Amino acid sequence: MTATQAGTTALSRPIVLQGIRDSFAKLDPRVQVRNPVMFVVFVGSLYTTALGVAAALGMAPDAGRPGFVLTIAAWLWLTVLFANFAEAVAEGRGKAQAAALRSTRKEVQAKKLKGRRVEDGHTLVQASSLRRDDVVLVETLEVIPADGEVIDGVASVDESAITGESAPVLRESGGDFCSVTGGTRVLSDWLVVRVTSNPGEAFLDRMIAMVEGARRGKTPNEIALSILLSFLTLVFLLATVTLAPFSRFAVESAGVGTAVTAVVLVALLVCLIPTTIGGLLSAIGIAGMDRMVRSNVIATSGRAVEAAGDVDVLLLDKTGTITLGDRQASTFHAAPGVTEQDLADAAQLASLADETPEGRSIVVLAKQRFQLRGRDLAGTTHEFHKFSAQTRMSGVDLEGRRLRKGAADAVRRFVEAEGGAWAVAVTQQVETVARGGATPLVVADGKRVLGVIELRDIVKGGIRERFVELRQMGIKTVMVTGDNRLTAAAIAAEAGVDDFLAEATPETKLALIRRYQGEGHLVAMCGDGTNDAPALAQADVAVAMNTGTQAAKEAGNMVDLDSNPTKLIEVVDVGKQLLVTRGALTTFSIANDVAKYFAIIPAAFATTYPQLDAFNLMRLASPESAILAAVIFNALIIVVLVPLALRGVKTRAVSAAHLLRRNLLVFGLGGLVVPFIGIKLIDVLLAATGWV
């Protein structure tokens, strides 16, 4: 379990106790006013308490029975406290995470270099004094003092304090694995690190701020819903206020009954405004961030988490996401007139200087197929040609032989430069391998083409089924790869993605994202390199790998601590669950009001209009019992729904329309039925105990 996960998997006793204490602290009017719905309940609680005390002292004879008024006031206060508790518990889990993260922070001394090289010498300073662009030396078993980029050296680094993974990772200068995080430890060798953050701006600082909720803020959808809830509250407030003069007029006109009291009107108002979702709204947002953190993903804002739920286009890298990312030699395809063993022998020799995983797999395959052991080239005249991105070939010049192995077009240019001819059969072999979803490498001996090596990257198990689920949810998947179109098309068909981008470059990725956004889509992607930064900055949801470059992490709005490209799918799931939970509980809250109408309205006006007793469908014991039962249910339902708000409503791989129908059935119909049952049971208990 990672530091970010510690103490967050359940409602532990310390979190609950702290939540209770914070519930009372949040009774501060400056805190309550931030939530308009609950602020109305807060003011109503103050008012009914004052009326109850006045009635008890005989100063408000028209307020109603003192015991009844004070009981209503007590349950209104509990309604406020329960809403505070929901928010406090959600915040408490974040505070527990932050405490776990703070425990990983250590004040260490840093070896600040006087220049940019080890030879320049260093001075010992406190890590907290380091600033952006300072250069430090970190040696074996020393803690990296600040976030930065490796500019020299290579070392294995223990990042378990951040990621929870015990296996060390390699960090080196250049490439996509140069980023290091403050608080991690060098296990071997040394690194020269350029600091990329000032004090208080480090990655760990941002993590702590996010999990504490200090920078969560309200998301656009949350703001829109808050405005809607505030508007509904205002409407019900105006409607309730008009009932007082209407009731007095009705009593005077009919000459019977009693006018509705202020306490009853407050109870009616509290029960009709959307207190359930109003009390849980903040907790739902905080819990959504919490679930993202427990997935080991740090979002820069709640807006990013929410956007993840609205995403309808996913851009996924092929290597490491859709495939295992470990291409292995699987088959030798000899050219006409060449034996497979001769091809394997030449391929092995040409791969001796190739330190890539693909090159090593060719040596292994030759050994497995033809028992070709490693060669001792001592005493021979030879020259190795290592693989490079420019030549896209590797090989060896050995005793008059010029053996090369590499990409088809690169080897073709080599053969033709040697004066050889390119066989049509080899072209056909290359195309056949590519159409099969594998990568072809061609082997040549000078001007003679020997054949093709098939490198196959295996599609991950279960990934096709996952793409089917995403499609059912209305999400389009696009595979992005540098492979040629034939290979890309074959892998795309095998994996079951909806579309693909072959021979991808930073420019084509950016253009693809802009095209989808121009069509009205929300796009999510992940990346780790500097060349991914433009596309990450353009995407609506951009997940940067923690192992990636600083440029990638700054361009993204999320960082995956596990550096797992597949995590993008999980990010979308968490975001969608946040939106579904908020929508489901809003539906339930609004549907709740119907039962409360049938409980309080007949109770309030039955003395004046006996005909209204026909609406007393629940056959509640008395007007006081009906009103009190509705208020009690209104308070208790918040507590009952707290675990659901924190856990989230379970999502399914179905379309948005199907999900809407399901939520309307479960939470809409449930919101209608449950209050009738709950209010009736509370009424029976009140009548049985003689409280009213």
Catalytic residue positions, numbered: 317
E-strand ranges in 464-551 read 476-480, 499-501, 523-527, 541-545
For 492, the 3-state DSSP assignment is helix
Supply φ then ψ for residue 659, to 5 degrees: -65, -40
Tokens standing for residue 4: 């970010």
Three-state secondary structure of 287-310? HHHHHHHHCCEEECCHHHHHHHHH
**How is residue 143 annotated by DSSP?**
B
SS (H, E, C) 260-290: CCHHHHHHHHHHHCCHHHHHHHHHHHHHHHH
CA 509 to CA 534: how far, in whole Å? 9
Contact 205, 162 (CB under 8 A): no
Which stretches of 434-507 are assigned E, i.e. beta strand? 439-445, 448-456, 476-480, 499-501
CA neighbor of 623 nearest in space, from 613, 611, 633, 614? 613
Q: How many C-beta neighbours within 10 Å does residue 316 have?
A: 24
Q: Which CA distances in Å does 466 have to 380, 459, 470, 475, 539?
A: 54, 12, 6, 11, 22
Strands across the sheet containing 382-385: 328-334, 448-456, 439-445, 401-406, 393-398, 382-385
Contact 240, 272 (CB under 8 A): yes
Residue 1 tokens read as 């379990």
Paired strand residues for 404: 395, 444
Q: With both helix axes pointing from N to C terminus, report the angle between 262-272 and 36-56 in degrees, rounded to the nearest 10.
A: 160
DSSP string, 385-400: E---TTT-EEEEEETT
Question: Quick check: 282 and 302 in contact, CB under 8 A?
Answer: no
Taking only Cα atoms into account, the Rg of the chain, rounded to an integer number of angstroms, comes to 34
Distance CA 301, CA 298 (A): 9
Cα separation, 89 vs 324, whole angstroms? 40
Quick one: residue 426, left, alpha or beta (phi over 0 = left, psi -120 to 50 = alpha)?
Answer: alpha
Count of C-beta atoms within a 10 Å radius of residue 174: 12
State both tokens at 325.
């990312």
**Smallest Cα–Cα separation from 361: which of 347, 375, 371?**
347
Nearest to 149 by CA among 568, 673, 593, 530: 530
- Measured CA to CA in angstroms, residue 481 lies from 40, 162, 525 at distances of 55, 30, 13
Q: What CA dihedral angle connects 82, 84, 85 and 90, to 10 degrees?
A: 140
How is residue 539 written in tokens? Answer: 């995407």
- The structure tokens 């449950």 sit at 674
* Burial (CB count <10 Å: 0-12, 13-18, 19+), residue 105: middle
